[in-house]
Amino acid sequence: MMKFRFRRQGADPQREKLKQELFAFHKTVEHGFPNQPSALAFDPELRIMAIGTRSGAVRIYGAPGVEFTGLHHNAATVAQMHFLPGQGRLLTLLDDNSLHLWEIVPHNGCAHLEEMLSFQLPSRPVFDGASTLPSLSRVTVVLLVADGNRAALGTEGGSVFFLNMDTLTLLEGQTLAPDEVLRSLPDDYRCGKALGPVESLQGHLQDPSKILIGYSRGLLVIWSQTAHCVERVFLGNQQLESLCWERSGSTVVSSHSDGSYAIWPADSGSSLVLQPTAATMPYGPFPCKAINKILWRNCESGGHFIIFSGGMPRASYGDRHCVSVLQAETLVTLDFTSRVIDFFTVHSTLLEDEFDDPQALAVLLEEELVVLDLQTPGWPAVPAPYLAPLHSSAITCSAHVANVPAKLWARLVSSGEQQSPQPTSSTSSWPITGGQNLAQEPSQRGLLLTGHEDGTVRFWDASGVALRPLYKLSTAALFQTDCEHADSLAQAAEDDWPPFRKVGCFDPYSDDPRLGVQKVALCKYTARMVVAGTAGQVLVLELSDVPAEQAVSVASMDLLQDREGFTWKGHDQLSPSTGPLPWPAGFQPQVLVQCLPPAAITAVTLHTEWGLVAFGTSHGFGVFDYQRKSPVLARCTLHPNDSLAMEGPLSRVKSLKKSLRQSFRRIRKSRVSGKKRAVNASSKLQEANAQLAEQAYPHDVEVTPVQRRIEPRSADDSLSGVVRCLYFADTFLRDAVHHGPTLWAGTNSGSVFAYALEVPAAATGSEKRPEQAVEAVLGKEVQLMHRAPVVAVTVLDGRGRPLPEPYEASRDLAQAPDMQGGHAVLIASEEQFKVFTLPKVSAKTKFKLTAHEGCRVRKVALATFASVACEDYAETCLACLTNLGDVHVFSVPGLRPQVHYSCIRKEDISGIASCVFTRHGQGFYLISPSEFERFSLSARNITEPLCSLDIRWPRDTTCDRHSGAVRGHALAHLHGLSHQCRHHAGHYRGRYNGGCERFLGLFRGTPEESAECGAR
């Protein structure tokens, strides 16, 4: 008996080293607005701002690019936040009654935000006689005392406790109980109801030993810490909401639950003040809602600012979210579209300054951050360089454009500036300017395009850490909708009261869901783009630097091709506006192509060198010549049983009977196939032999896993005609000698259609082709065996590289493709990747991802991975995201697995669906409706915060006392999301999306990784 010995290839050490130089997984930064914010803080010395969220996250922002991230381990809601000015330390109070002290800590040139101390306040009486800690009820308010490292804690029981900030422990013998305050009150006031919880604590800027305490009942007292007694009492009877102490300390302003505020004299000779000098209900006399917070800021020019939230008439405007700004006779009611969380003013806090002179007002809302310039007449909004609300209208699609030319970039910036011009008198800029961004200028400019439910496309600068808005394109003006009527109703007359002023850009309501953008494609060399929508509308637009008034050509294409037996049951198409329409500078529509039936566009591609656009729906695909404004091709891909394709995404009609029938068919098939396998005992031996034969191939890696048996999909599955991908390529389709333009289309049933296009060649020296008709002829048709949906199609040249984009080769912007050797086409389905030779379309190599890994492909992209060791070496690989949230990287064209990482939780369906890859090995996906998580698969191309802060590090208290403030320059190199320093940042996220709580796992670095980070 002969024995055969199969030798498996082991791991190649040289290749493993090269992999480490090419690939590395990092979650680097979060773009957008924090989900569900709950607290706000501002450090006036360092000019940095902190935002806390309901998931326990802490985000600190400074100048664009200066960001720090941390998370509480118990993931409770952050109720309050307070900076220790100039120290880079932050005290947080959670809703579980715990206190946490955070600090920006330097370590070997690498600084990070770290939780230094935490203290769980005892909320119930302690019966253990050995315990000396007083019992606390829930903390309602925190005040950092300015005369030392202490904090005052007001509680629901009315007591005020004091905390040592160095050790985060309670100070014994300094507690202010309600009984001590009651002894200073008149008998008639004392005999009434209880004082209630402590609602507000305010410090005196000139005399830190004095604390203003406000109780829920309405009582205000000034407590002297040095004399340990009540200096002054203000007998208020209206339920208190908030307090503010005027800068000089001579005036106190209080806001109340009935929508009024009162002004009290704090410098009167009497220690007992019975009545305020003024009490006003700004929006009375009818019942009003509570004024939740109030600020008083004085100005050198005269006319102080009174800024407060709430206070609106309960019956008429009780559902409005407002902040009112009052100066002298000027009152503006800022009307927001989401709930007000908190607000602060940016003003002078130096002791030698006599006036506040506020520069800006920052308002944190539930869905956005709004900053107003208070030094410019009219108080205009200041454009935010980051924290923009990505979800101002719900995001429906996204795309990334890399290496944007400088000319196109400048034109986009100019168009965006014309959309929101700033007043010429405005001299104020973004006021949160703390820290310094030390990151190098990005080597290339990257654009992130987001399509939205209201028909807009927003352009974002994704080159660095801060995601900056550049330009917004709106397509709603092209169609007849009800938005004009809604806008006219929203504009209030000048004499209306209250004087509302709409502020902010968060507007989640769409006038017509058919306006939703489904697909976008941009040619960065010709400044043309395609925007495709929910109702089958395909818009071809061109960038213009000047406004224009022009009519838009409208064409329609019937993708059913008069096929009988199909009736569209979905929504109607949008009605385009007629006649010339005014268009601002920016992208202006040239042609509107309406697909019939008006189903949502599922795929789109643009080839500006040929003047063609291709689009697909659930019924078929078409090609349109936008240069001649004429159709080229329409192909129906419907199967006779595709009834669901005729119902549309907005229809609730579904055949339950058909679903049950298909389920029973699948069960019956699996049972029958199982019996057949049991009868045929030799089939197992054949499978084993086949696996042994495959192991002998040299392209296999270390271990060949057992492949799962995948049942072929039925040809009559619903929605099998959906077009999943479209691709233009100049390649060999008819024979191996002549190459030319082709179109490739992949469907949900595993079919791939390849059409040869006859495109008239442009004259020498000209980029515009002749005005001759383009013809399309079916060249090949491929049916995948398992009928798995085709996710992507890409043609590889003779060197195995993807073909360049339109105009890249002709303008010498990229290496010309190899048109001498044999081309190949890479077809990626949900179950496997397969490379076919061209023009014969014979299988060359494949990788069965579903059979090997038990997952299905959701997103694929070809990316270039540059080496960190050698600047000139790079590889083009296939990046793949699966339905389990894992990212796999394969070599091209060999399809050898390189690396794979766990990226997104498999339960996070919306995050997986929103993922988009870049050409340089990075990616984005939504972790909440308002935030993109950025990750990198490349060891070299990483976008992460790199910043510095001038911080007073109060570690040597002796040195502090003798030499004053010790200043240290901390290199804040935050690897908060990268795998090397995630050990330090402890980056963990809880996110809500669509009502479901979605958590990103907590990554704990190994000691070796921590040591490596410290060494770096």
Over the stretch 388-402, which tens digit does the pLDDT of each residue have?
999 999 999 999 999
Q: Find out whether 539 and 515 touch, Cβ atoms under 8 Å.
A: no
For the ranges 65-79, 201-215, 319-333, 997-1011, the lowest mean pLDDT is seen at 997-1011
Q: Find out whether 723 and 637 touch, Cβ atoms under 8 Å.
A: yes
Return the pLDDT at 969: 33
Return the pLDDT at 710: 62
In this structure, are strands 500-502 and 517-523 parallel, antiparallel, or unpaired? unpaired
Q: Find out whether 984 and 888 touch, Cβ atoms under 8 Å.
A: no
What is the rounded distance in angstroms from the CA atom of residue 923 to the CA atom of residue 326? 46
As given in the structure block, the two tokens for residue 459 are 């352009």
For the ranges 50-64, 141-155, 366-380, 939-953, the lowest mean pLDDT is seen at 939-953
Return the pLDDT at 667: 63
Q: What is the mean pLDDT of residues 197-222?
A: 92
Q: What is the mean pLDDT of residues 447-463?
A: 96
Return the pLDDT at 644: 64
Neighbour tally for 700: CB within 10 Å: 14
pTM for the whole thing?
0.85
Q: Find out whether 772 and 760 touch, Cβ atoms under 8 Å.
A: yes
Task: Report residue 642 CA to chain centroid gap.
Answer: 36
Order across the sheet with 553-558: list the strands: 517-523, 528-533, 537-544, 586-596, 553-558
As given in the structure block, the two tokens for residue 229 are 């007694």
Return the pLDDT at 530: 98
Return the pLDDT at 716: 53
What is the rounded average pLDDT for all residues in the chain? Answer: 84
| pLDDT 10s digits, 939-967 | 999 998 888 787 765 544 333 333 333 23
Return the pLDDT at 647: 66
Q: What is the mean pLDDT of residues 339-364?
A: 94
Return the pLDDT at 697: 39
Rounded to 5°, angle at Cα 759 from 609 and 475: 50
Q: What percent of the chain has pLDDT over 90?
A: 63
For the ranges 2-16, 111-125, 451-465, 749-763, the lowest mean pLDDT is seen at 2-16
Buried b (16+ CB within 10 A) or exposed e, 95-125: ebbbbbbbbbbbbeebbbbbbebbbebeeee
Neighbour tally for 262: CB within 10 Å: 22
- H-only helix segments in 123-212: 178-182, 187-190
Dihedral angle over CA of 673, 678, 684, 687, nearest 10: -10
Neighbour tally for 871: CB within 10 Å: 9
* CA distance from start to end of the chain: 60
Confidence band of 496 (pLDDT split at 50, 70, 90) = confident
Neighbour tally for 652: CB within 10 Å: 6
Which of the residue ranges 178-182, 272-276, 722-726 has the most confident prediction, judged by mean pLDDT?
Answer: 722-726
- Match 């961004």 to its residue by tokens: 437
Assess whether pLDDT exceeds 80 at residue 38: yes
As given in the structure block, the two tokens for residue 948 are 């510095």
Assess whether pLDDT exceeds 80 at residue 661: no
Assess whether pLDDT exceeds 70 at residue 427: no
| pLDDT 10s digits, 537-547 | 999 999 999 99
Assess whether pLDDT exceeds 60 at residue 168: yes
Confidence band of 482 (pLDDT split at 50, 70, 90) = low
What is the rounded distance in angstroms from the CA atom of residue 536 to the CA atom of residue 163? 63
706 class by beta-carbon count within 10 Å (0-12 exposed, 13-18 middle, 19+ buried): exposed
| pLDDT 10s digits, 701-745 | 444 455 666 656 665 556 889 999 999 999 999 888 899 999 999
More confident position, 678 or 617: 617
| pLDDT 10s digits, 837-865 | 999 999 999 999 998 888 999 999 999 99
Q: Find out whether 396 and 453 touch, Cβ atoms under 8 Å.
A: yes
The residue type found at 379 is W
Return the pLDDT at 533: 96
More confident position, 52 or 666: 52
Q: What is the mean pLDDT of residues 309-313?
A: 96
Q: Find out whether 769 and 810 touch, Cβ atoms under 8 Å.
A: no
Q: Give which of 294, 316, 195 is closest to 242, Cα–Cα.
A: 294
Q: What is the mean pLDDT of residues 868-874?
A: 93
Confidence band of 999 (pLDDT split at 50, 70, 90) = very low
Return the pLDDT at 127: 43
Confidence band of 985 (pLDDT split at 50, 70, 90) = very low
As given in the structure block, the two tokens for residue 408 are 């196109």
As given in the structure block, the two tokens for residue 346 are 């940016």
Which of the residue ranges 75-89, 110-124, 995-1009 has the most confident prediction, judged by mean pLDDT?
Answer: 75-89
Q: What is the mean pLDDT of residues 31-36?
A: 96
Assess whether pLDDT exceeds 60 at residue 286: yes
Q: Give which of 626, 628, 600 is closest to 614, Cα–Cα.
A: 626
Neighbour tally for 854: CB within 10 Å: 12
Q: What is the mean pLDDT of residues 275-291?
A: 93
Assess whether pLDDT exceeds 90 at residue 3: no
What single string gives the DSSP state of each residue in 479-528?
Answer: B--SHHHHHHHHS--TT-SS-EEE--------S-GGG-EEEEEEETTTTE
Assess whether pLDDT exceeds 90 at residue 207: no
What is the rounded distance in angstroms from the CA atom of residue 813 to the CA atom of residue 426? 41
Strand partners, 162: 152
As given in the structure block, the two tokens for residue 499 are 């004087």
Return the pLDDT at 301: 85
Q: What is the mean pLDDT of residues 178-203?
A: 88
What is the H or E stretch that residue 1011 is in?
A: helix 1007-1015
Return the pLDDT at 659: 58
